[in-house]
Amino acid sequence: MEGAFGFAPLLLVFPAVGVLFNTFAGRRLVQADRKTGEMYSGWFASLMAFSAFLVAVVLLFSLRGHDFHAEVVTLFDWFNVPSANFHIPWAIQVDTLSVTMMLVVTGVGTLIHIYAIGYMHGDPGFHRFFAYLNLFLFFMLILVSGSTYLMLFVGWEGVGLCSYLLIGFWFDRQNEEGKAMNADAGRKAFVVNRVGDFAMVLAMILLFWTFKSLDFGTIFSGAVELFEAGHGVELFGMEMSVGAVLTAVTFLFLLGAAGKSAQIPFYVWLPDAMAGPTPVSALIHAATMVTAGVYLMVRSNVLLEIARESTRLGVEGANVLGLASPDWIALTGAATAVLAGLIAFTQFDIKKVLAYSTVSQLGFMVAAAGMGAYVAAMFHLITHAFFKALLFLSSGSVIHGMEHGHHHLHEHSHGHDAHHEEEKFDPQDMRTMGGLRSKMPTTFAVYMVGSLALAGIFPLAGFWSKDEILAHASANHGTVFTVVYWMLTIAAFCTAFYMGRQIKMVFFGAPRHEAAKHASESPPLMTTPLIVLAALAVLGGLLNFPFFGESAFETAEETHNFGIFLGLEHWLEHSIPTFELTTEGIVQMPHTPTWLQLSVAGISTVLALAALGASIFVVYRNRPQTADERDPLQSTPIWWFAILPFEWFYMHTVVPAFKGSARWLAEVLDGAFWHDFVHNNVVRDLFVGFAKFSATVLDANGVDGLVNGSGRFVRYVGSVVRKTQTGYARNYALGVFLGTVLLLAYFIFAN
Amino acid sequence: MPDTVSIDWYVALSIILFTIGAMGVLLRRNAIVVFMSVEMMLNSANLAFVAFSRYLGDLDGQVLTFFVITVAAAEVAVGLALIVTIFRTKQSINIDDINTMKG
């Protein structure tokens, strides 16, 4: 194997070692000596995350030295059923796309691990937390490094499990009504994701039937070949075009991604997921796991493009209600971006605002992937990982500071109403904050960076990535692109508005609660990762720096030659085969402008500044003054979104639809496979017959005979031998005597 | 000593004593008598040791005899203690009454 690709398995080994260490040694260490134990437990986990990061860096350089060609490192055969032509290797795909994801996951992951050492200090589940975090890294790396859809799915389910475990990390905490809210939130996340995961399984089954493989390379080249040749595939006893199959597959992928990446209609779990510890919200529910759906889309770019092209060519069956499934993906993402952006207006919990913001930004990425702007989607994924992790960790720092202030207050007022205060104090409620700017200067500074990056203010990271998505939407023609463009523009406006509202409520004005007055800055262990992330949030735009002005390059080659700025674009080009497909004239990818579109960037920047200004200087100008004051938006239509019964809608439309389709599918599969007949008459009857034969003949005669026979034999021998044991001493003496005589006779006469 | 008794006689006596002892152990019921029979067997062996020792002009046999006497003394002490204990529990020293080992 060329280069250092042999190191690839270490990527999974390091986090696994971290899990084992904290599972078996962590508890003892922490219990033996709290302080050093926490140090070993937390730093070991961080070291494992960092080691995985180094492996990813090594892979990055090996790819460079390998001319960016993808390498598949096979570890072992997972399934191999030659008769069914079913062969799934356990292999690691090392290409530019997966390495990008690895770097983001392990890089941001390492910073969050280090932050968590400070944040989780003193928690009784300290070692358990780090074991889960490392387990999450392990599964996330399987997800992004798998070379087959099945491995991706293993990681997909694994991160879902870790998400469940970590949302419910404080599973024993209860609210005032005695409900275990955290455990419920974990369960909700898990159950809501089931629907999407079911769609994923269906998509994989379809892919396997069509291509007889789940391997990325095989499927993609097979899909291009079939599409080129215009061949159909035999499914359900009828001939189907590959375009129709891939439309179904990508639509099912949309459902799967909607579950994992919290899109309409499954996004309801993500805001509740904020019940988990803040580092978890940052790592899993903002930076990495929830982007798995986007990764899936980008990874399946060939399938998406073929589905889009089939719809364009009017292939029979290759559309969903008249639209291509990538269009549905784009519309779903854009709708989610707007909806979640609006809901974020109405939240008072500092983390819930960020959670809805995450849903909204994921909508941007999904929309980008659906529009064919895969590089833009990845770009936004990376920059979002930087600044959203930053925002979550900073909010954790704020919560930490508020709790600290509250403790301080509690210690210094042994008086009458301290208990009364404690009962209703919520350290995450923005209404109780205010004026934290001077109390927590570092947190304030990095929070501002993160907020402005998220709002898309020039020249921070979010500006470049969001602008690339918007530019892509505006540069292509078609109703869907136009609709998506305007929806995303509105969503961008919302983003700036709710972030302005948040920073105003948290950091400016006067403290509205005693705890906010006494809040203090978090320890350096927590602020240092924040500063690193803030630097990344500032500089992240350099990854894919567009050209200025309208002087675009005419040809792809020219762009390529001058592409030093477009780092990510050219880096990902090797995984997203835009050019290979277009030069063969098979598929026309929607094109992304590689230069800065001044009109688009201008509109979005003006809107973002207007939104920030409107929220900080107009709507929330002198408000809120007290913690109980009504929100100025509370009498506007925006507030409707908060009270709209989304959950009810989910329970009464999606769930019955899921149940109905599952039942329908069961009937179809039954018809196709004589499922019941085979089960009842072949499998069950044969099995029952064999079991009966075993029970009555084999067991009764064979096994029982052997067991009872040996028992009887021993008893018989015993009854004979027992007679020699008379109990009379002289009989034994006679035995000894005769024995001696015999021995003597032997020695005398034998020689 | 002009006429020494030949070794054969000593050996014969030893055999006779041993046989009597062995028969006593196997046939008698009284534990004390069985015990004395054991002593008789031991002493028949002692006799043979001493006789051969003198016949061969070697002191090893006589040394061994002292060992046997010592061990026999210890054995008697333990054995009589056992018999006394058995008598206390069973009110009998008939060894046929002691058959708790019967299978």
Give dist(CA A663, CA A731) in Å, integer.
Answer: 84
Selection from A152, A113, A118 nearest residue A389 by Cα: A113
What 3-state class would DSSP assign to B44?
helix
Chain A residues near any Cβ of chain B (below 8 Å): 721-730, 733-734, 737
Residue A472 lies in a domain: yes
Give dist(CA A582, CA A589) in Å, integer.
Answer: 7
Residues of A whose CB is below 8 A from B34:
729-730
pLDDT in tens, A191-231: 888 888 989 999 999 999 888 889 998 998 888 888 888 77
Residues A218 and A158 in one domain: yes
pLDDT at A415 over 80: no
Residues of A whose CB is below 8 A from B95:
728-730
Interface predicted TM-score (ipTM):
0.82
Of B25, B96, B103, the CB nearest to A725: B103
Residue A372 lies in a domain: yes
Q: Is A519 left (phi over 0), alpha (psi -120 to 50) or beta?
A: beta
Residue A324 lies in a domain: yes
A730: number of Cβ within 10 Å = 17
Maximal CA-CA distance, chain B: 60
Residues A624 and A726 in one domain: no
Shortest distance between the Cα of A727 and any Cα of chain B, in A, equals 4
pLDDT at A561 over 50: no
Residue A121 lies in a domain: no
State the total domains in chain B: 1
Residues A693 and A643 in one domain: no
Selection from A440, A437, A435 nearest residue A514 by Cα: A435
Selection from A206, A104, A199, A90 nearest residue A155 by Cα: A90
Residues A678 and A654 in one domain: no
Residue A62 lies in a domain: no
pLDDT of residue A589: 64
Final residue before a domain boundary, out of A614, A638, A661: A661
Residue B85 belongs to domain spanning: 8-94
Beta bridge partners of A232: A241
Residues A719 and A744 in one domain: yes
pLDDT in tens, B7-52: 899 999 999 999 999 999 888 889 899 999 999 999 999 999 999 9
State the total domains in chain A: 2
Confirm or reject contact between B25 and chain A (CB < 8 A): yes
Give dist(CA A227, CA A232) in Å, integer.
Answer: 8
Mean pLDDT of A324-335: 93
CB B27 to CB A737 under 8 A?
Answer: no
Mean pLDDT of A155-165: 94
Query: Mean pLDDT, chain A, as a whole number?
Result: 85
What is the 3-class SS of A453-479, one letter each residue?
HHHCCCCCHHHHHHHHHHHHHHHCCCH
Residue B3 lies in a domain: no
Residues A357 and A483 in one domain: yes
Final residue before a domain boundary, out of A638, A661, A684: A661
Q: What is the pTM of this model?
A: 0.74
CB proximity list for B78: less than 8 A, separation 6 or greater: none
Residues of A whose CB is below 8 A from B100:
727
Q: Which of A724, A728, A732 to mutate to test the interface with B (most CBs of B within 10 A)?
A: A728
Give dist(CA A665, CA A289) in Å, integer.
Answer: 29
Beta bridge partners of A92: A73, A146
Residue A368 to residues A22, A322, A363, A485, A693, Cα–Cα distance (Å): 39, 20, 8, 10, 62
Residues of B whose CB is below 8 A from A723:
103
A662-671 long-range Cβ contacts below 8 angstroms, 24+ apart: A662/A198, A665/A202, A668/A236
Of chain B, the percentage scoring pLDDT greater than 90 comes to 60
CB proximity list for A647: less than 8 A, separation 6 or greater: A268
Question: DSSP letters of A117-148?
Answer: HHHTTT-TTHHHHHHHHHHHHHHHHHHHHBSB
Q: Answer for the pair A187, A161: CB distance below 8 angstroms, yes or no.
A: no
Q: Is B91 left (phi over 0), alpha (psi -120 to 50) or beta?
A: left
Selection from A413, A442, A630 nearest residue A514 by Cα: A413
In chain B, whose CA is at the least distance from the CA of A732? B26
Kindly report the backbone phi and psi dihedral angles of residue A75, in degrees, each rounded to the nearest multiple of 5, phi listed first: -95, -50
Residue A156 belongs to domain spanning: 148-411+425-661
Of B26, B96, B98, the CB nearest to A737: B26
A25-28 long-range Cβ contacts below 8 angstroms, 24+ apart: A26/A126, A26/A127, A26/A128, A26/A130, A26/A131, A27/A127, A27/A128
Residues A650 and A702 in one domain: no
Residues A493 and A629 in one domain: yes
Residues A340 and A269 in one domain: yes
Give dist(CA A227, CA A585) in Å, integer.
Answer: 12
pLDDT of residue A416: 46
Question: DSSP letters of A56-94?
Answer: HHHHHHHHHHTTT--EEEEEEEEEEEGGGTEEEEEEEEE
Q: Which two tokens stand for residue A476?
A: 């292509």
pLDDT of residue A413: 59
Shortest distance between the Cα of A719 and any Cα of chain B, in A, equals 9
Selection from A129, A183, A132, A122 nearest residue A161 by Cα: A132
Shortest distance between the Cα of B36 and any Cα of chain A, in A, equals 14
pLDDT of residue A729: 81
pLDDT of residue A672: 60
Residues A632 and A690 in one domain: no
DSSP-based helix, strand, coil % in chain B, nearest 5: 80, 0, 20
pLDDT at A400 over 50: yes
CB A730 to CB B102 under 8 A?
Answer: no
Give dist(CA A252, CA A204) in Å, integer.
Answer: 9
pLDDT at A673 over 70: no
Give dist(CA A655, CA A665) in Å, integer.
Answer: 15
Residues A651 and A679 in one domain: no
CATH number at residue B15: 1.10.287.3510
H or E stretch covering A240: strand A238-241
Which region among A35-44, A296-305, A336-345, A401-410 has the lowest average model confidence (pLDDT)? A401-410
In chain B, whose CA is at the least distance from the CA of A734? B26
Question: DSSP letters of A302-316?
Answer: HHHHHHHHHHHHT-T
Residues A384 and A496 in one domain: yes
Residue found by looking up tokens 């991706």 in the block: A152
